Amino acid sequence: MNKRQRGLSFSGFMLGAFILVLVSIVGLKLIPVYMQNAEINKLFATIANDPDMQKASMRDIRASFTKRASIDNISAIKAEDIEIDVSSGRPVLSASYAVKVPLAGNISLYLDFNSASK
């Protein structure tokens, strides 16, 4: 009786390892971008819920964002990029921005984010 060997061939192993390394590299490059987006959302919520900012002017809200963003090392957006709506009695901050993440050579990922306080 002929029994077929089962298992992973060397070429199958190399292909699997290549895919795993490729996914790992892309994932490691994207983690900081998504972490910064989470920081921006958290910062927007903090400013919107701050009692001192409830009656503040747009200029004061932008100044508060600039100070807090410098502490958290946020570089994806500037205070001028923020849209502020104070019609509901509470400031609602929002921003749409894009981040370009270089992968290798001339290959990059372009990510769009829409952050807002809730």
CA angle 51, 72, 75 (to 5 degrees): 115
- Give the model's confidence band at 118: pLDDT under 50 very low, under 70 low, under 90 confident, else very high: confident
Quick: pLDDT tens for 26-80. 999 999 999 999 999 999 999 999 888 888 889 999 999 999 999 989 999 999 9
| 3 vs 85, higher pLDDT | 85
- Give the model's confidence band at 2: pLDDT under 50 very low, under 70 low, under 90 confident, else very high: low
Quick: pLDDT tens for 25-39. 999 999 999 999 999
Instruction: For residue 53, count other CB atoms closer than 10 A to its CB.
Output: 20
For the beta sheet containing 92-104, the strands, ordered from the edge strand earlier in sequence to the opposite edge, are 83-85, 92-104, 107-116
Quick: pLDDT tens for 70-106. 998 999 999 999 999 987 778 899 999 999 999 888 9
Task: Say what the pLDDT of residue 8 is.
Answer: 83
Task: Say what the pLDDT of residue 36 is.
Answer: 95
| pTM listed for this prediction | 0.82
